[in-house]
Amino acid sequence: MEATAKAKNLRGSARKARLVLDLIRGKNVDDARKILTFSNKKFALKIEKVLNSALASITESEGKVDLEKYHVAKAVADEGPQMKRYMPRAMGRANIIRKRTCHITVSIAENEELETKVPATKLKVQETKAKVQETKPKVQESKPKVQAKKAKDETKKTTKREA
């Protein structure tokens, strides 16, 4: 089961919201709530409300829910509309002040979905390691060649000494 919650037109830049969302992405819901509760960022409170909303939609459809079964599958901050204000400056000029907004989306999914994706990546890693080992030149084959070169060099040295 997956649930998504969105908050639109929140005051603050999406860049600052992404800093907080990066902290909770992929974590268990219980851990994510603890991180957001003790974070000093302004967006932590807003994101916690969105996370609680997604959790409420799951409990509404399923009833009582164990928080350990769910993780934050997707956490995104997109830019919203900008309010433009003008600040008077010297010599009759004016600077634009952009009051930024953002849209936050948080999705919660069951841990089983996460577990099925992990083994597939492990298999790919194992396959690539096997290919790399096949393509590597074997060190043992090159040792006799090196020994043969040393023997040739020694014979040349001995012949020079004799002459």
Enter the pTM of the model: 0.66
- CB of 71 closer than 8 Å to CB of 27: yes
Q: Do 56 and 29 form a contact (C-beta atoms < 8 A)?
A: no
- Model pLDDT for residues 39-62, shown as the tens digit of each residue: 999 999 999 999 999 999 999 988
State pLDDT tens for residues 91-138: 999 999 999 999 999 999 998 744 455 555 666 777 777 777 776 665
The answer to whether the CB of 70 falls within 8 A of the CB of 29 is yes
